[in-house]
């Protein structure tokens, strides 16, 4: 960097290192068969002011770190390993019995409820606190040092950098998130493999936060949390930052295990817009297209364009919009019981999130628990959603709650349980055009007192044993079938 830039070459071999700070005009290049192994010695990672989950946080310095740099790159054919197993807590329910016994025998501490393993006592202590790493005036340097082991770094954090290239390299085994560009411009991620164990706590693939002008292409993600995720800050801090993630292209990429294939949220308080996702495949992910937020976030997510998505063996929903995100795994663990969120009408404020103007075209899904699930807020519906050319095989069909101006055109559903095929709760201006299905006990269930202008055309109602039922104050004049 001091000589004007150049290439730092990592030759083939196994190289043990502490954190690396990238400087402007430098390309960190890994030759084939090079393994860059970050140390498990926590003392090598100084505590630094950083940002995680949308808040200003004290964290251990990320293994790969850059701030306010220009023209930086990590390229080549090697593997970068973040030593994440030394940092992460592990949920018992995410391992086999043999894996759990082996983990416990390796050392560490099992939590009081016997459901979680922690690598150190500091991790146990801090896990009982709310946002222990958040930077607040009442916390001293000594406090952060006392919980240092808990403050897991993301593998890569580039903050306020410009003209970034990540190409060809495998990023694996991250302590928390894997790749985290924050407030960056002109980012290219090409032919990258982001890999984490399926049990990796907070083991996201890539989290693009408050960035603009981004291209992700030809990349593969097989991780423990969300695969490809768009974020822009959390709650008041994100709204104050006011930097949406915008002008993003994601194409020709594959996501295997992940909580979601392509995800927006839940920390999207600065907004997201002008995002294009096409020619991607999701195989075995918990949810295919996952858009999540909750009250308190605020922010506007709009102008999202998605096309040519192939999915297979999706555990939850193929397409999900949910404004009641509860910070839990998208699919309940074995034996886990969850109550539906309490529905109440609240005033619209700056804390009310907005999802609008989504255009999704040509989605093929072979296997999901539900084809489409949309759940908005009673005070502000999810609006202007267009779903064209869906071919989905799932256990259940379509569920729209608190949604407005939703258009579904040329939809082909093969479902196991069509009781009903389409459920609508307080929907307005909902249209179904050329919907085909295998069979249904009940075609429509309309619920709630705030339904209007629900229409279908080109829908063969004769294949259903019952056309419609109206519950919880819904009236028959809210639905028109083929009129």
Helix (H, G, I), strand (E, B) or coil at 54: coil
Question: Which is the catalytic residue, given 149, 257, 259, 286?
Answer: 259
Nearest to 260 by CA among 316, 328, 208, 214: 316
Distance CA 66, CA 45 (A): 14
Percent of the chain with pLDDT over 70: 97
- Report the pLDDT value the prediction gives residue 338, as an integer from 0 to 100: 60
Strand ranges, E, within 265-325: 272-283, 287-292, 300-312, 317-322
User: pLDDT-derived band of residue 333, with 50, 70 and 90 as boundaries?
Assistant: low
pLDDT digits (tens, 9 = 90+) for 112-160: 999 999 999 999 999 999 999 999 999 999 999 999 999 999 999 999 9
Instruction: Determine the average pLDDT of the residues in 353-376.
Output: 98
pLDDT reading at 327 higher than 80: no
> Under DSSP, is residue 152 helix (H, G, I), strand (E, B) or coil?
coil
Work out whether strand 90-91 and strand 422-437 pair parallel, antiparallel, or are unpaired: unpaired
Q: Which of 225, 226, 286, 399 is catalytic?
A: 225
Q: For 305-315, what is each residue's pLDDT tens digit?
A: 999 999 999 99
Q: Give Dmax over CA atoms of the chain in angstroms.
A: 77
pLDDT at 1 over 80: yes
Instruction: Say what the pLDDT of residue 341 is.
Output: 76
Q: What sections of 58-152 are H helices per DSSP?
A: 97-105, 121-127, 141-146
Amino acid 345: pLDDT: 87
pLDDT given for residue 2 in this prediction: 86
Q: How much is the pLDDT for 448? A: 95
pTM score of the predicted model: 0.96
- Catalytic site residue 186? no
The answer to whether 192 and 226 have CB atoms below 8 angstroms apart is no
At residue 3, the pLDDT reads: 87
Alpha helices in 87-188 (DSSP H): 97-105, 121-127, 141-146
pLDDT for position 483: 65
H or E element that contains 365:
strand 354-366
- Residue 259 designated active-site: yes
- Domains belonging to the chain, first-starting first, are 6-85+137-328+349-481 (2.160.20.10)
The pLDDT of residue 340: 74
Strands 422-437 and 382-394, by their bridges, are unpaired
Q: Would the pLDDT of 334 be above 60?
A: no
């Amino acid at each position: 960097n001091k000589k004007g830039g150049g290439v730092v070459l990592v030759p083939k071999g196994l190289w043990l290192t502490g954190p690396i700070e990238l400087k402007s005009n430098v390309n960190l290049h890994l030759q084939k068969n090079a393994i860059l192994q970050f140390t498990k010695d926590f003392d090598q990672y100084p505590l630094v002011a950083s940002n995680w989950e949308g808040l200003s946080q004290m964290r251990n310095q990320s293994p790969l770190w850059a701030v306010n740099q220009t023209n930086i790159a990590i390229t080549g054919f090697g593997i970068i390993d973040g030593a994440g197993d030394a940092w992460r807590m592990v949920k018992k329910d995410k391992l086999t019995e043999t894996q759990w016994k082996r983990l416990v025998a390796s050392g560490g501490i099992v939590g009081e409820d016997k459901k979680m393993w922690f690598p150190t006592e500091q991790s146990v202590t801090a896990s009982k606190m709310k946002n222990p790493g958040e930077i607040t005036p009442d916390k001293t340097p000594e406090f952060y040092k006392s919980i240092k082991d808990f403050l897991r770094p993301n593998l890569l954090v580039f903050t306020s950098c410009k003209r970034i290239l990540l190409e060809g390299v495998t990023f694996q085994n991250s302590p928390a998130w894997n790749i985290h560009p924050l407030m960056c411009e002109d980012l290219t991620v090409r032919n990258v493999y982001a890999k984490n164990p399926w049990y990796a706590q907070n083991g996201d693939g890539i989290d693009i936060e408050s960035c603009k002008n981004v291209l992700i292409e030809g990349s593969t993600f097989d991780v423990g949390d969300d695969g490809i995720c768009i974020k822009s800050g959390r709650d008041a801090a994100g709204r104050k930052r006011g930097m949406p993630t915008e002008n993003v292209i994601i194409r020709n990429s594959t996501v295997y295990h992940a909580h979601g294939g392509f995800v927006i949220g839940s920390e999207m308080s600065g907004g997201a817009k002008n995002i294009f996702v096409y020619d991607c495949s999701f195989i075995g992910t918990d949810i295919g297209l996952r858009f999540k937020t909750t009250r308190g976030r605020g922010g506007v997510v709009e102008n999202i364009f998605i096309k040519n998505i192939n999915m297979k063996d999706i555990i939850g929903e193929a397409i999900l919009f949910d404004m009641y995100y509860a910070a839990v795994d998208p699919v309940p663990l074995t034996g886990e019981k969850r109550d539906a969120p309490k529905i109440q009408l609240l005033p619209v404020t700056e804390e009310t999130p907005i999802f609008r103007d989504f255009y999704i075209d040509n989605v093929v899904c072979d296997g999901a628990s539900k084809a489409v699930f949309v759940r908005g807020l009673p005070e502000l519906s999810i609006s202007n959603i267009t779903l064209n050319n869906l071919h989905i095989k799932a256990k259940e069909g379509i569920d729209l709650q608190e949604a407005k101006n939703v258009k579904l055109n040329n939809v082909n559903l093969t479902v196991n349980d069509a009781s009903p095929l389409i459920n609508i709760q307080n929907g307005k201006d909902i249209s179904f055009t050329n919907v085909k299905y295998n069979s249904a006990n009940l075609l429509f269930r309309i619920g709630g007192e705030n339904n209007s202008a629900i229409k279908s055309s080109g829908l063969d109602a004769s294949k259903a044993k019952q056309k419609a039922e109206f519950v919880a104050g819904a009236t028959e004049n809210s639905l028109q079938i083929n009129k």
